[in-house]
Amino acid sequence: MSREQRGAGVAEPPAQGQGDAQGDARGAERPSPRLRAGGREGAGGAREAHGPARGVLREYFESLVVTAVMALFGMTFVVQAVKVPTGSMQNTILIGDHLLVNKFIFAPGPALPFLPQREIRRGDIIVFKYPGKYAGEERFRDNPLVDDTAPNNIPYKTNYVKRVIGLPGERVALRGADVYVDGQLLPEQKVAAVNPPDADDDDPSNGDERGSPLRDERGTELTGENAPAREADSPYFVYWSPRHLERTGRGPGRQQEEEEEEFVVPEGHYLVMGDNRENSQDSRFWGYVPRSAVVGRAMFVYWSYDESLPSSGNFLADFFKNSRWGRTFTLVK
């Protein structure tokens, strides 16, 4: 007897009519009430157990941890936020500007062609850790005008913002208001400007004039619509007092020839100066910036607060009233 024939000897269920067959089919299509109630059933009708659902607090905690890690990575290797408290770079950068700094562009090591990295160039506005008085030259080391013990001038802790003027190995000469690099005049556009007063009445309701931008001789702020027009061959502005430009300028009003001061930039270092040339303590006073002290390149202003305006005592009202909203996303160059 064949295998199929032996199988045919098993008792079969009674034959069903067409209606009964359709009814059974519909019954087979309907899920078990217990299955609809939630979960699959295993052998013997036992329900398979699911793991406990994650709580809302746990999900928030995990999101916060991931966000904190990403922010820490970004602040360490990519960008950094800094506030400008002094006027050494006015009016390129104003007192109260908050900047984002690109830390990746000057990252040490060989620059890869597919990454936005490059070497420091003349004219770059860089943020760096104040290195202290340069010990390699007596004029810097013994300069009484520089105090490295001041709480706002701590070496390798205080952030400075300046413009790169001299590169490693270059010879920089200062003659009056002119700057020469290896004997070539640097094309800087000189603007006559008046600095704000050095003193204040310490009454917040009157504002703090020390935080106001540079003005022309008529008292008009040299910002916005009143900013000077840029000349074609000048990549940036530098600001001098009208008297200094009259005394040392290259025009017919020049009265005397000032002494030349010369700097030879050491290898691995940079000579930096503020755009507000008569109100900037920079490489002319304390020396050179080592490459290792450079934090990054200033990119743009993400928020600016005008500290010269009166305060109402209400933080929220002052925030909206005294913020320089027009400077938001202003590129620094």
3-state SS class at 93:
coil
pLDDT reading at 248 higher than 90 = no
Model pTM? Answer: 0.75
For residues 186 and 177, give the distance between their C-alpha atoms in angstroms, rounded to a whole number. 11
pLDDT tens digits for range 47-95: 555 555 567 777 766 677 666 666 565 555 578 899 999 999 999 999 9
3-state SS class at 176:
coil
307-308-309 Cα angle (round to 5): 95
Task: Report the largest interatomic distance among the alpha carbons of the chain, rounded to a whole angstrom.
Answer: 131
**Where do the domains of the chain lie, and which CATH numbers do they carry?**
66-331 (2.10.109.10)
Peptide bond into 91 cis (omega under 30): yes
For residues 87 and 221, give the distance between their C-alpha atoms in angstroms, rounded to a whole number. 14
| Sign of the CA dihedral with 9 first, then 12, 14, and 18 last | negative
pLDDT reading at 15 higher than 70 = no
Give the mean model confidence (pLDDT) for residues 239-262: 74
User: Which pLDDT value is given to residue 206?
Assistant: 58
Better-predicted residue by pLDDT, 94 or 204: 94
Q: In sequence order, which residues have a C-beta less than 8 Å from that of residue 82 and are 6 or more positions away? A: 98, 99, 101, 127, 159, 161, 298
Go through the chain and tell me how many residues it has: 333
Give the mean model confidence (pLDDT) for residues 130-138: 96
Better-predicted residue by pLDDT, 236 or 308: 236
pLDDT tens digits for range 227-239: 999 988 889 999 9
